[in-house]
Amino acid sequence: MPFQEDLRAAVKAAVPGVPVDWGWNLQGVTTTRVTLVHVSGRDGIAHDGPTGLVERRVQVDVWSPSYAAARDAADDIRAALHGARSGAIAGVFLTGSRDGPPETPAGSLLARFTLDLMVHYKE
């Protein structure tokens, strides 16, 4: 999907040098990184049929061994993407954010910040 490539590129530009990938957290990786997960969505529809505008909710997780590094990377992503438009993307909007306990195996504690984005894009 074009929006996935465009969104990944925008996140990578917001946090240069940090790995950004679609999918779940990679076990055993101990550097700061970002994972993107498609959570939900819907296709735009009007009385006369599809509008061609699609809405997808994307969860952006920032993982880091340092709480400060995870927070700072999440702040950089939020600043760069909230309200952004690029390529196939008609608009990106922050709908929620949180930090919380990491979901990692015992012995590999990582800080995690999560941003919930609503991405509108043209098919």
- What is the per-residue pLDDT across 70-101, written as a single tens digit (0 to 9) for each? 999 999 999 999 999 888 899 999 999 998 76
Q: Give strand pairing partners of 97.
A: 115
Which pLDDT value is given to residue 62? 93
Residue 51, classed as helix, strand or coil, is: strand
| Cβ atoms of residues 7 and 58 within 8 Å | yes
Q: Which residues of the chain carry a pLDDT beneath 70?
A: 1, 25-29, 101-108
Which pLDDT value is given to residue 16? 96
| Cβ atoms of residues 42 and 19 within 8 Å | no
DSSP string over 59-108: EEEEEESSHHHHHHHHHHHHHHHTT--BTTEEEEEEEEEEEE-----TT-
Residue written as tokens 């999918």? 23
Q: Hey, what are 50's tokens?
A: 């599809």
Give the CA count within 13 Å in the CB-facing half-sphere of 13.
Answer: 11
Other residues' Cβ atoms within 10 Å of the Cβ of residue 63: 25
pTM recorded for the entire structure: 0.86
